[in-house]
Structure 1
Amino acid sequence: MTSSTKTPGLARFNTLDEAAARTALHEACASAAWGGRLLAQRPFATAEALYAASDAATAELTAADLAEAMAGHPPIGRPKPGDPTSAREQRGMAGASEELRAEMLELNLAYQEKFGHVFLICATGRTGEQMRDAVKERLANSPAREREIVRAELGKINRIRLARLVEEEEEKEEGPRT
């Protein structure tokens, strides 16, 4: 199935009651404004329409909304205990050496001190070394440039999480056959 077709998972998401849909969206992105914008546009005809709405909502986030979204992301190298999403997304750090983990901790702290928020990167598919190199590079950015990058990275993360939500919903709906 392509993202332009209507999936059973998308249909299920479209028909969730508002509280359940809000919870599902909050798990994808901690910004209430982002979730509210997507809720207001349901039902979505296609997964691609959902992703486009996410991109538009991400682009419209205020500084406070962006801060709220970032607060839902743990630092790279320290996924939230018991959170399979952050552990899966940060898989590239799972086998990292103690030296790399220590370096990432220092870089995360330097980044947070400079910009006032967690280093946000779409970590899916990246190695620990790639993430380390990215934070080193981004430490040289101005706050304005870094906000642009953070917004773009958040948009990528939101798309991945929404795709997973639609796929998971599809798997739940299909369930085991008897």
Structure 2
Amino acid sequence: MVEPLTLTLDDLNALPAQDAAVYFRRCCSSEGWVSGMVKRRPFLDENVLQREAETVWQGLGEDDYLEAFLGHPKIGDVSSLRKKYADTHALASNEQSGASSATDEVIQELARLNSEYEEKFGFIFIVFATGKSAAEMLDILKERLPNPRDKEIQNAADNQQKITALRLKKMLGQA
């Protein structure tokens, strides 16, 4: 059976642990985070859910962060970037939305620097991309690329937490 994409907080609280884990895994692929969230139920309201999500995330370590990063598609594949920025209607609901047009030069540079980033740090570039254009993401990537690995893991983890918070809202039908 395929679970619906959204549910109420009461429904989430009432689910058996393994079913709740399915929903949490859609928000973040770190099994440590998923396990922590399942154990912290029931949540009084969405604010408590969001605070607990952040608390669980902050209590995790690098391996958990890297596991979560693996759940993301790369921002930088040239053909997917072209497709992503070609249609503003498709962008409206996409986490990497925010631009109605991106120049080929920006897309090529984003793809090149994404590869450089992954080679340097050993994980893909994680950015809370909602509402950002390709050019803005490129600027952020250029700013973060010189960082040492420990700082960049923290930057990526901070962005992952923002992404997870948005996904939790979407899961509850609130975004």
TM class by smaller structure: 0.7 to 0.9
> Can you give the 5+ residue segments of structure 2 that lack an aligned partner in the other structure?
1-6, 84-89
Contact 1:58/1:154 (8 A) holds in 2: no
- The number of aligned residues is 159
Of 159, 162, 166 in structure 2, the residue corresponding to residue 153 of structure 1 is: 159
2:119 matched to which residue of 1?
113
Counterparts of 2:127 and 2:62, CA distance in 1: 17
Q: Which has the higher contact order (CA 8 A, sep 6+)?
A: 1
How far apart, CA to CA, are the structure 2 residues paired with 1:93 and 1:32? Answer: 33
Residues 35-58 of structure 1, C-alpha deviations (whole Å, 9 max, x = no match):
100000111001011111110111
Alignment of 1:5-154 (within 5 A): 9-78=8-77, 88-92=94-98, 95-154=101-160
CA RMSD of aligned residues (A): 2.4
Q: Distance in 2 between matches of 1:11 and 1:97?
A: 45
Shift of residue 77 of structure 1?
A: 4.0
Distance 1:11 1:95 in 2: 41
TM-score by length of 1: 0.81
List 4+ stretches of structure 1 deviating above 6 A. Answer: none
Q: So what's the TM-score if we normalise by structure 2?
A: 0.83
User: Is the partner of 1:167 in helix, strand or coil?
Assistant: coil
Please report how far the alpha carbon of residue 93 of structure 1 lies from its aligned counterpart in structure 2 after TM superposition: 5.6
Q: Is the 8 A contact 2:76 2:112 kept in 1?
A: no
- 1:64-119 Cα shifts (integer Å, max 9, x gaps): 1111100001111446x9xx99x700123663222221111101001001111000
